[in-house]
Chains A and B, each alone.
Chain A
Amino acid sequence: MMAQVHSLTGVLLDDVALTLEELARACDVEPDWVVRHVRAGVLGGAPDMPVQAASLRFRSIDLLRARRLRDIERDFDANEDLAALVVDMADEIRRLRARMHVLGMRLV
């Protein structure tokens, strides 16, 4: 018997951003966790801006970062600031690797 195939169109998160509740659900964390990380400047906009939970919107990069932060905090019982530092450093490594690849360079 042929398996049924459902046709769907993916919505790009960078076209339709996630709300606070949606990001929290996608990361399996409480909304407070997200707000705390936004206030710390680790996710979303600038940390100095007042955080209005209802108006927060998140895109692909925030979802990726939030899930990485959550994994490091959970896997290593890590302090939130240290987890943020690890994620920032990992992002920088990725950026540098992509740059090297673009320039046709390889790590020896």
Chain B
Amino acid sequence: MEYKDYYTVLGVERSASADEIKKAYRKLVRQYHPDVSKHKDADAKTKEINEAYDVLGDAEKRAAYDELGRGYRPGQEFRPPPDWGSQFDVNGAEGSDFFADLFAHVGRRGRAGGAGMGGMGGGFRMAGEDIHAGIAIDLRDAYQGATRNVTLRVPERNAAGRTVTRDKTLSVTIPKGVTPGQQLRLGGQGQPGIGGGPAGDLYLEVQLNPDPRYRTEGAHVYENVPVTPWEAALGASISVPTPSGPVEVTVPPGSQSGRKLRLKGRGIPAAQPGDLYLILDVVLPPASSDRARELYQAMARDLAFNPRDRIGA
């Protein structure tokens, strides 16, 4: 694995004080916050910044990182020493491979496992941490349900008693009717507990892959439907492809671009099913032939039509 320079990530000197590190972190968090940042890679950058601060913002982890990383350069192949990290607990799984392998041991603060918590003596039990991650699916999967593989890097004790990480692949069945932002819970798939404590849970936040044909808002789905001027003006029955298959739709006469036709219950089939909105988009045929130009000229001559009436022109 490649060595990561967390000091460079946060833009601080290796000698920076805890306060300087915190200030640099806050500045970068504001700069790359996905809600306000215009950077294309704001999400990835935010993860990187959080990972760096998770280490440098914790005195114990920072000391361990400094000790291990002495002499390494960013991108250089990195191997932790063989006796590294034999006695610590595990960390969350949101960081990079480098982070997971290096700091599987120094550990975030664990949680007490209810009645089992009895100080650091013999009765010590601790529940494993929950893991939070995202899972991206297509809109069609939200309509039909899907199965997706999720790979997590999890800690494990090897034969020598050392904590090492390995990839664990879960085949996750996603029920139909999920909407963006909803959370799937997979009980017991988080980090393992300590001293017989229960494992944490895995939470997957559902995200939809962008689709040029459809837009969503909660369970409602929006689709632009091109129509000809005569279909819009005279009304027509047209076939429209939708996420749940083609449907026959009646275009009312006198329709204009932007008119919304609601197909009730044909949005994402959530507990409260969404609606599908077809937004009409009147497309003009090109005046690219003599005959087409003649027809446009006939309309100009025969139709007393001024679309700028309403703006006083």
Contacts and interface: CB of A to CB of B under 8 A. Distances in A.
Interface string B186-203: 110100000000001101
A102 B222 contact: yes
B228 interface: no
B129 A4 contact: no
A60 interface: yes
A18 B222 CA distance: 31
Interface string A1-43: 0011111111111111010001001101000000000000000
Interface size class of A (residues with CB under 8 A): 20 to 34
B183 A8 contact: no
Contacts, number: 101
Interface in A46-80: 60-61, 63-64, 67, 75-76
A30 to B, nearest CB: 10
Contact of A3 (B167, B182, B183, B187): B167
A75 B26 CA distance: 7
A18 B183 CA distance: 11
A61 B181 CA distance: 7
A31 B36 CA distance: 30
Interface string B152-194: 0000000000000001111111110110011111110100000
B130 A26 contact: yes
Nearest to B272: A14
A67 to B, nearest CB: 7
A100 to B, nearest CB: 10
B171 A25 contact: no
A85 interface: no
B127 A10 contact: no
Contacts of B129: 28
Contact of B183 (A13, A25, A90): A13
A26 B189 CA distance: 13
Interface string B224-268: 100000000000000000000000000000000000000000000
A4 B169 contact: yes
A63 B189 contact: no
A44 B301 CA distance: 63
A34 to B, nearest CB: 14
A99 B181 contact: no
A60 B170 contact: no
B173 A64 contact: no
A17 to B, nearest CB: 10
Contact of A14 (B26, B167, B182, B279): B182
A10 B172 contact: yes
Contact of B181 (A4, A6, A60, A76): A60
A93 B38 CA distance: 14
B203 A63 contact: yes
B35 A90 contact: yes
Interface of A: 3-16, 18, 22, 25-26, 28, 60-61, 63-64, 67, 75-76, 90, 93-94, 98-99, 101-102, 104
7 contacts: A5-B171, A12-B175, A26-B201, A28-B108, A75-B25, A101-B217, A102-B217
Q: Which 8 A-B pairs have the closest CB atoms?
A: A10-B184, A9-B173, A60-B183, A13-B183, A7-B171, A60-B182, A90-B35, A5-B169
Given A12-B184, A22-B201, 8 more contacts: A6-B171, A8-B171, A9-B173, A10-B185, A14-B182, A25-B111, A60-B181, A63-B183
Interface of B: 25-26, 29, 35-36, 108-109, 111, 127, 129-130, 132, 149, 167-175, 177-178, 181-187, 189, 200-201, 203-205, 215-217, 220, 222, 224, 271, 279
